[in-house]
Structures are given as structure tokens and as C-alpha cells.
Amino acid sequence: MWVQPWSNSSEFLVIKIKKIVNASILSAKPKQQQQAVVVVVVVVVVVVVVVVVVVVVVVVVVVVVVVVVVVVVLVVVVVVVVVVVLEVVVVVVVVVVVVVVVVVVVVVSLVVSRVNRCSAPDLFTIYRETGSHAPDLLEEF
């Protein structure tokens, strides 16, 4: 038997099944025809159910994979943002601490130098203000 080539193999398969089923049903007795029709209906229902189950499973797997990928991408983005924010916070804290330490050191050194100048005048200033000689100054202190 010559088979005509079809562009769609599923269409060819359906036509071939129809020819076989029709030939077997027409050549059978009425009781066998009923049984053949029932068998064909059962086979068609089973094939449809299997196809639907396969499609549902494929859709569920694709949805699960997409959800997992989206969750992983979101977790990575959140981790990167947290790390960047923490780095910025650490840098800002370090800069603030360094500035505060420098300001405290400068203020303390200015206060200490001012106190030193006020509380301990040099001998030349004392001599000029009092007119005393150096040995006399030592006795005063």
C-alpha cells in the first residue's frame, strides 16, 4: 500500500488510525462492531488523558523552575544590596570616627597649649615684669 507523505506526521497518524479502525469496524459483525467502537473510544479517552496529564506536568515543572529562578535572583539581589549598604555604612562610620578623633586631638592639644602658656610663664617674662634677677626668681618659686 502506497502511503502519501504528509507535512504533519500527527495528521498522517490520525488518518492512518481512522482507516484501520473503519476497515476493522466495517468488516466485523454487529456485535464486534460495538466492541470495536467501545475499544476505540476507550483508547481515544486514554490517549487524551495521557496527553492532558503530560501537558499539565510540563506546565507545572516550568512554573516551578521559573519560580525557583526568580526567588534565587531576588535573594542574590538582596544579598548584594545588603553587602553594598553595609560597606557604605562601615566607610561612613570609619570616616566619622577618624574626624571625631582628629577634632578631639586638635582641641585637646590647643587647650593644653593654652593652659601651659597661662600657667607656666617663662623666666624672661617674669624677669621683664618684676625686674628680678634669675637667682631671685628661683627663690620665688
Where along the chain do its domains lie?
9-140
Q: Kindly state the helix (H) or strand (E) to which residue 93 belongs, with its residue range.
A: helix 30-119
The reported pTM is 0.44
User: What type of residue is 131?
Assistant: G
Spatial distance between the Cα atoms of 21 and 95, rounded to a whole number of angstroms: 86
- What the block records as the C-alpha cell of 99 is 574626624
CB 127 within 8 A of CB 134: yes
What pLDDT does 59 receive? 95
CA distance 135 to 139: 7
Of 20-24, 36-40, 87-91, 126-130, least confident by mean pLDDT is 126-130
d(CA 135, CA 47): 124
Query: Distance between CA atoms of 138 and 55, rounded to whole angstroms?
Result: 108
Residue in 33, 31, 51 with CA at minimum distance from that of residue 41: 33
Look at residue 1 in the predicted model and tell me its pLDDT. Answer: 45
- Residue 33 makes CB contacts below 8 A (sequence gap 6+) with 25
Number of helices (H), then strands (E), belonging to the chain: the values are 4, 0
Check pLDDT > 70 for residue 76: yes
Look at residue 6 and tell me whether its pLDDT is greater than 80.
Answer: no
